[in-house]
Structure 1
Amino acid sequence: MAVMISHTSNAQKFLEDASGLTNSAGNPRVKTLIHRILCDSVKIIEDLSVTPEEFWRAVNYLNVLGVRQEAGLLVAGLGVEHYLDLLMDAEDKLAGKSGGTPRTIEGPLYVAGAPLSDFEARLDDGTDLGVVLFMQGQVRNTSGEPLAGAVVDVWHANTLGTYSYFDTTQWEFNLRRRIVTDANGRYRFRSIVPSGYGCPPDGPTQQLLDQLGRHGQRPAHVHFFISAPDHRHLTTQINLDGDRYLHDDFAYATRDELIAKIIFTDDPERAAAYGITGRFAEIDFDFTLQLSDQPKEQQRHERVRALEG
């Protein structure tokens, strides 16, 4: 029979003391969070009869997770990052905020300070011999009006499924740019068709997913931050139609409105119009932003990001 002591007054006082609730120093919000985490943790230990061996395996797992810097990957893989989106969607519905391009997860691989261009840019540095991609679209508000001067902050993986800066074989801003829309709210860029990718097979995230009977694969996708004065900041990504994992994304980021049709062509005349030869791909995708007069909503959520701050 499992022994339950978390409900006793001695145990409750112990947890309050451990989380700092019995002193006047420190941060009240942190104390509240830690107290809840401690209380829930000991309940899990009791309710599921967690053994000392299981407990210390979990502690070691956290050590390995930190060494491999996969915490951001794990919260995506367990759906926690997507759950934050679901909560924000529910909050918007309750507040009567509707319309616009749907949000979806940021992921852990953004790098601040990518080069800024007017209207158009080339994202790749020419070293990856992938299929050339031309993408264009318009940024509008929910009334359909074009948003001139909006910033389209875009980043994606290469054909090996790796991201610049984190993959030190690439220039730190390869496949990363910020593009300012023109007077008609339009943007366009040249890049390469990204590849989907999976969690490192020897890493702690995939190790846990194996225990859950789940894969760690993502479909090919392109990340975006879209921002404009007096509008809500948008964190989103498009997933490319036809990918094997389009509706089986381990990070739960696919939304039907964010599936982008990608058209491949071998037409030499169309290629020549772009100034290239050979096979290439095209994507047209527009973004719609909600109006907002709240400065906090106009900014991306604060978190630790590479080269930010």
Structure 2
Amino acid sequence: MMDAEWYVYNYWNFDQECYNMLETIIQEADSGSKERLFQWLSDRLDHSNQELSQAISNLWNGSFDEPHYWERKLVISERLAEDSRMNGRSIIDGENEWAILHLQLLKQMGASTADLLSYARRFWDEPKIRSFMAVVESENQEFDKAEAILRESLVLDLASKVWLTRHHLMLKKIFHQSSQLDSYREELLILLKDFLPGDNTLIQELKTEVSEAEWRSLRRDMIERVPDYGLQASLYCEEEMWEELSNVVFRTNDIHLLRKYDLILIDRYQEQVLEKYSELLREMARTTSNRGYYREIAEFISYVSRLPGGWPIAGELLELFQRTYRNRRAMMDELRRVIQD
């Protein structure tokens, strides 16, 4: 036991190997030793160090599944959940995990939904508790009750975008399960517009629920809301929206993004592609003084020379850089390699 105690109280050195070792000891212990281990862990559950408390509670919760432990775990989890609520603190990640564990134990022991809800109401200010009960109601096919809990949660958790996102995802799920297709589509649109713009799974879901004409009327707004221009470009490319793709690529001043899509765009926008390469390479040359970047510039010039209509632009850049930066020996070395090739 002293060895186990040393492992736990040195949590900063308590890596996964040590955790697995303790877990194995518990699993392979005889009934008497396992009982003593249960009691030893139970006495240390409410440790003031949050990381230690989580490690101990994970072992305690995950390693004693036999029914004869359930009643004692129920009593302990109820006490710790109440202590957490009264002290104004939660055990793990800002949430009262003991209240959740208590609900899970009650459910495992066959408690009625009414009894689960009665206990959950004591912690109703916590979004995870309400989310748990929404799942329970949904599992019972009580979709109206699940929706009511989630609608209430949208108001109570207005300040948390993370929880609002989770609630809308759950609403989407229950509307799909209950075949409320209009509400299901509405939740998809809310999620894509306000919470998870550009999420490919949601986009594919929406595309299967609307006509092609309706999707075409929606997709521009959906993609414009995506904050990441790389993802925007990917979505425009997938949708074959070439003008929108070109606008993103030419606006972002990212030479690697330009390289990714230049062969797709060059047939339609040859002049703009080559001009953008010229602009970005001039800026790179002006602002860098590192051989690695010089090599990259030289490689890009070589690449541009092989694009349709690209040799004149590449030649202009070589001449300009050799004249302007002739005192940068490393750059001249890299440019000579392009000329030799």
What's the TM-score once normalised by structure 1's chain length?
0.20
**Structure 1 or 2: larger strand share?**
1
Structure possessing the higher radius of gyration over alpha carbons: 2
Structure possessing the higher relative contact order (Cα contacts under 8 Å, 6 or more residues apart)? 1
**Structure 1 or 2: larger helix share?**
2
What's the TM-score once normalised by structure 2's chain length?
0.19
